[in-house]
Amino acid sequence: MSRDDDRAWLSALLNREGGPGAFHPDEGARLAGALSGMPFVELLGLLPPSPAPVAAYQAWLAVNGQAADAFAGWFNLGAALHAAGQAQAAANAFATALALRPGLHDAALNLGLALEAAGDADGALAAWRRALPPPAMRRSLHNHIGRVLERRGLLAEAAAELEQSLLLDPMQPDVVQHWMHLRQRMCEWPVDGRALPGLPAETLRRWCGPLGTLALTDSVAAQVAANAEWLERKVPPVSERLAPARGYGGARIRLGYLSSDFCRHAVSHLMAEVLERHDRAAFEVIGYCSSPEDGSEIQRRVLAALDRHVPIGAMSDEAAARRIRADEVDILVDLNGLTRGARPGLLRWKPAPVQLTYLGYIGPVPLPELDGMLCDEWSVPPEAAPLYRPPPLVIQGGFQANDGQDLVLPAVSRAGEGLPEDGFVLCCFSQTYKFTPEMFAAWCDVAHRIPRSVLWLLEDNEWARRNLQAAWAAAGLDLARLVFAPRVEPARYRARMALADLFLDTHPCNAGAVASEALRMGLPIVTLAGEAFAARMCGGLLRAIGLGDNVATSLPDYVARAVAIGTRPALRDELRARLAGGAWRRSLGDVAGFTRRLEDAYRRALAALGSSEIP
């Protein structure tokens, strides 16, 4: 007979009343022949829907016990035996399946259940414990999975993996940092509100990492303490100080810029013209660069502005530090601070007599080998200076570099950006990790009080969008009044800012480069000034350009100022007029003047070598 005839006969046998256990002894040889070499999945297709006949699995295994898929037969036999109330026999079947396929987790689970049903609780516990990897391994697996998921942009899945790791072992500061920052980016509020066992909110906030800290607290003391703990954990001291304490005394000041952001990054867009304008009669400018090569126009421009470009990405911290020492750099300016790509381990070797932190991280970097933090007299007022480490080094007239190069902008329209033609457009184009529930509630209050207003936000990630929409709806606002702007190229990004009516700043971590771009495009800003540098930087920009009256000192004051602008057309027009006529270029965009003031700060720092503090 043919194979098809055997399958038809076998199907009839398995589905007749009584199942294969009722076959006649004379049929045994034909049954064995029909089952021989049959894939287990094919047998499943012949079986009746329910109940699965134990004898069918036993017969198949008797013939195919050495097949590659025999483990599946033993697993299904175990399930059928368990359903039939034969717990010990089921346990034996599951144990055989697990021996054939050790990674079959369902078999391990069911083995324990069968042993428990058979009255062997100790055996069940032992089976389950054998199936579990050690806690350290499980923790590491969750961490690695979370790391890769975060890199792929799957933020919620990454956060879930890291949370599982912290439930196994809460004492993992680096995991807390990533978990907290993921929640900040997703606007999963409160970001520290789901206190995990062994991790009170205070610990979560202390371990949230340098960038997350700026958006969580306005306390300088708290920022210094959190960052000092981070540095102590991550960057051990080294055995040697490389630079001479008194410097070199060359004819020109040799100025080194250390960065991983000489590429398509905000730091490059801010620093490009400053690098071009440095006084070469007084300064030699060297870039120590660990930036990715992205082929961007801004990268080409920055590298062309340097007198020398020294790639150090492949060097160890010690090797790079010794190269800087060999170059006899007088002042090393770290443009990363505590952001991604930073090299604090390099700074610990003290390769330059004067080492400063600037621009990349707007907060304290309490590394003993740093001599100063470049800021301005508004962002770090004299009474707050003693709180900071390293000590503030003031750039007169404003701390932020800018690029005054003429802009070539595309034509944009409200209709093209999904905005109402006649509504009042509130906006914030800062990254979502800077958003807080308190500030978003204030924005909702402002929107309620300004007729026909919409709030226009940067679309950072899908989870933040959903959470912000939920908070907006919970505040009783129509979702049609919450508009999200996709990421676009820099030219369109700048051009569309002019379509808005008022920029609502974040707190406690203000907008910096984004705020300057908005002011350049004639867009007024309302900000809330606090204690820390990051909570005052936007206020400094507004004061410099002549909009100091838009700096609020409390949340109610912030809301009142925004509402006044949104409901008084004359005030809105006045603010626009103050930003018109080249106001930005005369103030924040005066790059030549800023570069001279920056160079003056460098000279003061070098002149202070050997003294107790920088003047």
Would you say 3 and 30 are in contact if contact means Cβ atoms under 8 Å apart? no
Alpha-carbon dihedral angle through residues 291, 295, 296, 299, given to the nearest 10 degrees: 40
**Rama region for 198: left / alpha / beta (φ>0; ψ in -120 to 50; rest):** left
Alpha carbon distances (Å) from 27 to 6, 53, 268: 12, 18, 83
pLDDT of residue 19: 52
pLDDT of residue 69: 86
User: Distance (Å, rounded) from C-alpha 84 to C-alpha 532?
Assistant: 70
Radius of gyration of the chain (CA): 33
Architecture of domain 135-208: Alpha Horseshoe (1.25)
Q: Would the CATH topology of 135-208 be identical to that of 415-588?
A: no
The first and second tokens of residue 179, run together, are 């978990």
H or E segment and range at residue 457: strand 453-458
pLDDT of residue 611: 59
Q: What is the dotted CATH code of the domain comprising 415-588?
A: 3.40.50.2000
pLDDT of residue 24: 57
pLDDT of residue 45: 72
Q: Is 331 exposed, middle or buried (0-12, 13-18, 19+ CB in 10 A)?
A: buried
Alpha carbon distances (Å) from 318 to 211, 331, 351, 428: 25, 18, 9, 42
DSSP 283: E
Alpha carbon distances (Å) from 517 to 12, 119, 325, 374, 404: 78, 72, 37, 21, 11
pLDDT averaged over consecutive 10-residue blocks of the chain (615 residues)? 68 61 58 76 71 77 85 89 91 93 89 94 90 88 95 96 95 97 97 82 94 97 98 96 92 97 96 98 98 95 98 98 98 97 98 98 98 97 97 97 94 97 97 98 98 97 98 98 95 96 98 97 98 98 97 98 98 97 96 98 91 56
For the domain made up of 211-404+592-615, give the CATH fold: Rossmann fold (3.40.50)
User: Distance (Å, rounded) from C-alpha 453 to C-alpha 36?
Assistant: 75
pLDDT of residue 382: 95
User: Distance (Å, rounded) from C-alpha 359 to C-alpha 393?
Assistant: 12
CA neighbor of 609 nearest in space, from 326, 290, 244:
244
User: Distance (Å, rounded) from C-alpha 364 to C-alpha 222?
Assistant: 10
Q: Reading across the β-sheet that carries 283-289, which strands appear in turn?
A: 308-311, 283-289, 253-259, 331-334, 354-357, 372-375, 392-394
Give the residue extent of every domain in the chain: 135-208, 211-404+592-615, 415-588
